[in-house]
């Protein structure tokens, strides 16, 4: 099987030389691709930086349609944890109710953009369970606060520990224990 | 939450002037309620502003796709293909030639402009009907802006671009033979303020020139502007302001020079001490450039886009174009550094006549005065001013539950931990102390006011969380089973909460 050669880098992980223009272009191309997918009635349902490949010209390619559905509504709880939408995550525990697949794609794209632009996840919590809790309860207010505080350049950086830029891995690795702002 | 601690570690995307637009986009996308969350068309609309700032070609493409999607007349796939075909005509600049183009003045470069426009026409010839309409409108607007800009250039003669630096230099030359340091600094500062006023007047007279410059800035960002460049410009501006205040060129602003600045801005001399205390971080009664820079960063030299759009006149330009951001940021930084005049200065013109900036400054002044009091108290070893808190007894049940809900929304993990331990008292305590400066950051982000730092929370939540510590544990009360001492023991005793705790 012969296919196009997609880009070699993941969305947002271009290192220090990543400019805003490059990020904007990658985001816009991914957005256009998703718009096209949705217009065809396909929901991706696994949008994350690892599934958005970016080539040297900074144009993005969506890959990995393993979880995609051609349904407007679904009850299947699947996705990748830091990027999964809260309505999926919240209802995963008792029973999954129907959720809008297209809307959850929007959420995942937003989290991907957040991670790509900020270099860390909106909730960098200690383990997978806490992440699920945080996703289900949606600390998005907190996340927005974080970005704004960062955008205002570290006005509340006092409590934050140092980390390296770029961050070590786009996917969440449970082994790497970071210090959260809530010491256990 | 782990985030970059210093400015060097910060992602360039968050340290750039377009960061507020990005935050706005993210705010719009990440809505918890899926019914209120926008679909992808809404995202296209939301992304418009940020993309226009960072990557205008992509913004046009997204706009075209959005138009096609909304009309429904042409199949979206065709629109995507057309946009992709048009996109191939454009080149994405390398950093190297970006630097080269920046060294020349690209606004005056006809080749640059014509190439920029021709790519648009190529795309318009290939696109669908809607695309063509959009492109035609754009070309029209561009032409208008060009005409405006040429008119304005003829009048001001490049005043906006390099004029400020030149005037500053001129002031330096003129006043260098003056022996009185306060006189010379006053003269230079006055000139500098006048020039800023003139600039804002200029901007008010030609509002279209503003949009033109904005487009230019966007065009530059399309080609070569890195995020760091804006910072460098802001640095340069701050350096200029510092040089203007530093009359004797000693590399630091001493009390004499500081007093001169105050006199110039019409501030009472008794304000000198607290203001100096704020500006002077290491207590050597000299304000060094590093201290000034720290102050500017603390008070957020980069304004918010929404605020800037709401505010009139010169306030607006700061967020917009990086060419003009430098003097504006300098003015803003300067006015904040000297704690913002109580009354508009006598030589005020331009932006200072607007009511809204005045109001904002009055608010800032109040805040900064409080900050000054705080800092003075800290210097003297006096316990810091306590924020007035409602006594807990006066809270009725409904209000308390509201507060709990709010806390649960903002910090669910810790709330969960506390609820797991039955620590409702600690939960209320949490609502008082937890995230005080986060909330302050959020509020300051919403209102655009500088954030007041509280130096330390008197009693940390984590201390009250620790079951082995005496006094908070006594507060827990006997209504629920107290947690076993130590977290390991807690995890062992309550395995169902162990995952939450660890």
Q: Let me know if residue A4 belongs to a domain.
A: no
Per DSSP, A15 falls in state: G
Instruction: Inform me whether the pLDDT recorded for A47 exceeds 80.
Output: yes
CA distance A166 to A109: 20
- Residue A139 vs residue B122, higher pLDDT: A139
Assembly ipTM: 0.72
In a shared domain, residues B42 and B114: yes
Of B5, B22, B30, which to mutate for an interface test with A (greatest number of A Cβ within 10 Å)?
Answer: B30
Q: Is the N-terminal amide bond of A166 cis, ω within 30° of 0?
A: yes
CA distance A99 to chain B (A): 8
CA distance B233 to B21: 20
User: Which residues 17-36 of A have a C-beta within 8 angstroms of B?
Assistant: 17-21, 23-25, 27-29, 31-32, 34-36
Q: What is the mean pLDDT of residues B187-204?
A: 60
Range of the domain at B416: 392-501
Burial B434-473 (b: 16+ CB within 10 A, else e): bbebbebbbebbeebbbbbbbeeeeeebeebbbbeeeebb
Q: Let me know if residue B164 belongs to a domain.
A: no
Which has the closest alpha carbon to A52: A43, A42, A65, A41? Answer: A65
Which has the closest alpha carbon to B383: B456, B462, B471? Answer: B456
Q: Cβ of B10 and A18 within 8 Å? A: no
Instruction: pLDDT band for A30, please (50, 70, 90 cuts).
Output: very high
Q: Let me know if residue A1 belongs to a domain.
A: no
The SS3 assignment for A99 reads strand
For chain A, the average pLDDT equals 71
Q: Cβ of B14 and A118 within 8 Å? A: yes
Q: Let me know if residue A160 belongs to a domain.
A: no
Structure tokens at B154: 């003829």
Number of structural domains chain B divides into? 3
In a shared domain, residues B28 and B149: yes
Residue B209 contacts residue B148 (beta carbons within 8 Å): yes
In a shared domain, residues B261 and B334: yes
Name B328's Cβ contacts closer than 8 Å, sequence gap at least 6.
B196, B314, B315, B317, B318
CA distance B293 to B301: 10
The CATH number of the domain holding residue A94 is 1.10.510.10
Domain stops at, among B380, B410, B425: B380
Contacts of B27 in chain A (CB under 8 A): 144
Instruction: pLDDT band for A44, please (50, 70, 90 cuts).
Output: very high
In a shared domain, residues B288 and B249: yes
Contacts of A103 in chain B (CB under 8 A): 34, 37, 39
In a shared domain, residues B207 and B287: yes
Q: What is the mean pLDDT of residues B134-156?
A: 50
Burial zone of B224 (CB within 10 Å; 0-12 exposed, 13-18 middle, 19+ buried)? buried
Q: Let me know if residue B162 belongs to a domain.
A: no
Q: Let me know if residue B41 belongs to a domain.
A: yes
Q: Let me know if residue A174 belongs to a domain.
A: no
CA distance B461 to B429: 7
Structure tokens at B47: 């992304």
Instruction: Inform me whether the pLDDT recorded for B356 exceeds 70.
Output: no
CA distance B52 to B66: 15
Q: Let me know if residue B173 belongs to a domain.
A: no
pLDDT of residue B396: 44
In a shared domain, residues B280 and B399: no
CA distance B212 to B147: 10
CA distance A157 to B61: 37
pLDDT of residue B319: 34
B101–A contact, CB cutoff 8 A? no
Burial zone of B162 (CB within 10 Å; 0-12 exposed, 13-18 middle, 19+ buried)? exposed
Compute the half-sphere exposure of residue A68: CA atoms within 13 Å on the CB side of its CA. 16
- Residue A16 vs residue A13, higher pLDDT: A13
The SS3 assignment for B36 reads coil
Q: Let me know if residue B165 belongs to a domain.
A: no
Residue B23 contacts residue A136 (beta carbons within 8 Å): no
CA distance B312 to B354: 7
Considering CB atoms only, which of A103, A125, A179 is closest to B34?
A: A103
Q: Let me know if residue B172 belongs to a domain.
A: no
**CA B124 to each of CA B53, B115, B120, B135, B136: distance values in angstroms, whole numbers, following the listed order:** 22, 14, 6, 6, 8
Residue B278 contacts residue B375 (beta carbons within 8 Å): yes
Other C-beta atoms closer than 10 Å to the C-beta of B384 total 14
pLDDT of residue A78: 80
Range of the domain at A23: 9-154
In a shared domain, residues B220 and B359: yes
In a shared domain, residues B360 and B404: no
Instruction: Inform me whether the pLDDT recorded for B464 exceeds 50.
Output: no
Place of tokens 């606060």: A145
In a shared domain, residues B86 and B211: no
Q: Let me know if residue A184 belongs to a domain.
A: no
pTM of the shown model: 0.38
Q: Let me know if residue B423 belongs to a domain.
A: yes
Q: Let me know if residue A37 belongs to a domain.
A: yes
pLDDT of residue A115: 81
In a shared domain, residues B402 and B280: no
- Residue A111 vs residue B367, higher pLDDT: A111
Greatest CA separation found in chain A?
54
Instruction: pLDDT band for B21, please (50, 70, 90 cuts).
Output: confident
In a shared domain, residues B376 and B396: no
In a shared domain, residues B82 and B202: no
Q: Let me know if residue A129 belongs to a domain.
A: yes
Compute the half-sphere exposure of residue A142: CA atoms within 13 Å on the CB side of its CA. 26
Number of structural domains chain A divides into? 1
The CATH number of the domain holding residue B321 is 1.10.238.10
Angle B258-B262-B268 (CA atoms, 0-180°, nearest 5)? Answer: 125
Considering CB atoms only, which of B16, B55, B298 is closest to A25?
A: B55
Q: Let me know if residue B91 belongs to a domain.
A: yes
Q: Let me know if residue A49 belongs to a domain.
A: yes
CA distance B62 to A28: 7
Is A105 assigned a catalytic role? no
Instruction: Inform me whether the pLDDT recorded for B39 exceeds 60.
Output: yes
Considering CB atoms only, which of B3, B226, B412 is closest to A139?
A: B412
Residue B300 contacts residue A152 (beta carbons within 8 Å): yes
CA distance B316 to B104: 27
Considering CB atoms only, which of B2, B22, B29 is closest to A109?
A: B29
Percent of chain B with pLDDT over 70: 21
Structure tokens at B498: 């162990």
Domain stops at, among B314, B347, B380: B380
Which has the closest alpha carbon to B29: A18, A113, A158? Answer: A113
Instruction: Inform me whether the pLDDT recorded for A110 exceeds 60.
Output: yes
B90–A contact, CB cutoff 8 A? no
Structure tokens at B72: 């429904």
User: Which residues 220-249 of B have a C-beta within 8 angstroms of A?
Assistant: 221-222, 225-227
């Amino acid at each position: 099987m012969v296919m196009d050669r997609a880009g070699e880098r993941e969305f947002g992980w271009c290192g220090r030389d990543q400019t805003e223009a490059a990020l904007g272009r990658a985001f816009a191309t991914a957005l256009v691709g998703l718009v096209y997918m949705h217009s065809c009635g396909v929901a991706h349902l696994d949008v994350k930086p690892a599934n958005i490949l970016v080539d040297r010209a900074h144009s993005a390619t969506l890959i990995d349609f393993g979880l995609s559905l051609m349904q407007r509504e679904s009850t299947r709880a699947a996705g990748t944890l830091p990027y999964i939408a809260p309505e999926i995550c919240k209802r995963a525990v008792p029973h999954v109710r129907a959720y809008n697949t297209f809307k959850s794609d929007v959420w995942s794209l937003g989290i991907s953009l957040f991670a790509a632009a900020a270099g860390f996840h909106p909730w960098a919590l200690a383990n997978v369970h806490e992440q699920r809790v945080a996703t289900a309860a949606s600390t998005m207010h907190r996340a927005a606060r974080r970005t704004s505080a960062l955008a205002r350049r570290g006005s509340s950086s006092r409590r934050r520990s140092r980390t390296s830029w770029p961050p070590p891995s786009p996917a969440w690795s449970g082994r790497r224990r970071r210090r959260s702002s809530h010491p256990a | 939450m782990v985030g970059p601690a210093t400015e060097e570690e910060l992602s360039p995307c968050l340290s750039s002037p377009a960061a507020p637009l990005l935050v706005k986009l993210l705010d719009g996308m990440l809505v918890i309620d899926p019914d209120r969350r926008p679909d992808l068309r809404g995202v296209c609309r939301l992304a418009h502003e940020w993309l226009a700032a960072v990557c205008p070609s992509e913004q046009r493409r997204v706009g075209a796709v959005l138009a096609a999607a909304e009309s429904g007349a042409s199949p979206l796939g065709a629109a995507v293909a057309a946009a992709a075909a048009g996109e191939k005509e454009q080149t994405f600049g390398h950093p190297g030639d970006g630097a080269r183009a920046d060294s020349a003045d690209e606004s005056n470069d006809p080749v640059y402009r014509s190439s920029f426009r021709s790519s648009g026409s190529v795309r318009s010839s290939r696109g669908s009907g809607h695309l063509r309409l959009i492109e035609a409108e754009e070309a029209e607007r561009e032409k208008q802006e060009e005409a405006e800009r040429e008119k304005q250039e003829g009048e001001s003669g490049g005043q906006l671009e390099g004029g400020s630096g030149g005037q500053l230099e001129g002031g330096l030359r003129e006043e260098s033979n003056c022996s009185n340091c306060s006189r010379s600094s006053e003269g230079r500062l006055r000139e500098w303020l006048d020039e800023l006023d003139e600039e804002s007047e200029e901007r008010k007279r030609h509002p279209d020139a503003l949009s033109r410059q904005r487009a230019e800035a966007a065009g530059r960002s399309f080609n070569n502007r890195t995020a760091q460049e804006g910072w460098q410009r802001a640095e340069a501006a701050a350096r200029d302001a510092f040089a203007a205040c530093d009359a004797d060129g000693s590399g630091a602003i001493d009390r004499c020079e500081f007093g001169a600045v105050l006199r110039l801005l019409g501030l009472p001399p008794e304000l000198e001490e607290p203001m100096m205390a704020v500006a002077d971080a290491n207590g050597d009664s000299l304000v060094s450039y590093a201290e000034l820079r720290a102050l500017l960063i603390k008070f957020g030299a980069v304004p918010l886009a929404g605020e800037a759009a709401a505010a009139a006149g010169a306030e607006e330009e700061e967020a917009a174009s990086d060419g003009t951001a430098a003097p504006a940021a300098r003015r803003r930084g300067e006015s904040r550094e000297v704690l913002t005049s109580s009354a508009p200065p006598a030589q005020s013109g331009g932006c200072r006549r607007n009511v809204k900036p005045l109001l904002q400054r009055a608010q800032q002044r109040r805040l900064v005065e409080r900050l000054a009091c705080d800092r003075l108290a800290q210097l003297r070893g006096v316990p810091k001013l306590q924020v007035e808190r409602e006594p807990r007894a006066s809270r009725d049940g409904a209000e308390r539950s509201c507060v709990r809900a709010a806390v649960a929304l903002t910090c669910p993990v810790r709330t969960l931990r506390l609820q797991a331990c039955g620590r409702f008292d600690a939960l209320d305590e949490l609502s008082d102390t937890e995230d005080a400066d986060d909330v302050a950051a959020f509020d300051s982000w919403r209102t655009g006011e500088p954030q007041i730092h509280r130096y330390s929370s008197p009693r940390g939540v984590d201390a009250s969380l620790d079951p082995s510590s005496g006094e908070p544990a006594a507060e827990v009360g006997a209504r629920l089973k107290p947690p076993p001492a130590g977290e390991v023991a807690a995890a062992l005793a309550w395995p169902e909460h162990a995952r939450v705790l660890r």
